Structure 1
């Protein structure tokens, strides 16, 4: 039986491997994964999206500002249509600036975390007997495995 587990590369992983060896499990294979070093693309394509959008806040604020501009435009000099369009443009730009600021803050925070020494994850493959799988699973979960899967 094989048990696959993912860990962050910490001392707990080393302790888990040592504990497994003490329990008589000798077939342990660890594969370190390297973190992504490439910057994500700023704009999403049609088939690839990361859930971050720059225009959603802009569209919402454009609607809100256009509504206020059009309603105030009945009193102001240029009329409701012109002030509605000015409000829509100003709201859209405000939303873009807001989204861009959030992106820059989020990106700066992630870069600092990577620079501080964020390590990659490790896949641990343990081959054991069927009667040992419960002990192996308990050891892996006790040492903060991120995920676990088993095959027979």
Structure 2
């Protein structure tokens, strides 16, 4: 039986490996994962998206500002159509600007966390007998495993 577990690279991983070896389990394989070296792309393509959108807030604010501009346009000089279009443009640009500020603030915060020594994760593969599986799982969970999976 194989048990897969993920850990942050820390002293807990070393303690787990030592404790597993002390309990007679020798089939232990640890694989460190590399951290991302390149920044993700700013704009997504049609085939690859990360869920971050720059125009969602812009569209919502464009609708809201266009509604206000069109309603006030009945009183103002240029009329409701022109003021509705101006409101939509101002709202869209405001929303895109807000999304951009939020994106760059998050990116700056993430970069500073990586520079502060963010550690990668390690995948630990333990091969054991079925009767040892519950012992191995308990040891892994007790030492702060992020996730766990079992296969036969």
TMscore range, shorter length = over 0.9
Does residue 76 in structure 1 map to residue 76 in structure 2?
A: yes
Aligned residue number for residue 88 of structure 1: 88
Deviations along 1:45-86, one digit per CA (max 9) or x if unpaired, are 112111100000000000000000000000001110000000
Instruction: Report the alpha carbon displacement of residue 26 of structure 1 after superposing the two structures with TM.
Output: 1.1
Structure 1 partner of 2:23: 23
Tell me the secondary structure at the aligned position of residue 3 of structure 1: strand
In structure 2, list runs of 5 or more residues that go unmatched: none
Q: Distance in 2 between matches of 1:98 and 1:144?
A: 38
Shift of 1:21: 0.8
Match of 1:126 in 2: 126
Q: Which runs of 5 or more residues in structure 1 are unaligned?
A: none
**What displacement does 1:131 show?**
1.0
In structure 1, how many angstroms separate the alpha carbons of the residues matched to 2:57 and 2:76?
27
Normalising by structure 1, we get a TM-score of: 0.98
The offset of 1:20, in angstroms, is: 0.6
Partner of residue 150, structure 2 = 150
1:29-40 correspondence to structure 2 within 5 Å: 29-40=29-40
The aligned length equals 152
Matches of 1:47 and 1:108, distance apart in 2: 26
The root-mean-square deviation of aligned C-alpha atoms, in Å, is 0.7
SS where residue 38 of structure 1 aligns? coil
In structure 1, the residue matched to 2:111 is: 111
Tell me which stretches of 4 or more aligned residues in structure 1 moved more than 3 Å. Answer: none
Q: Taking structure 2 as the reference length, what is the TM-score of the superposition?
A: 0.98
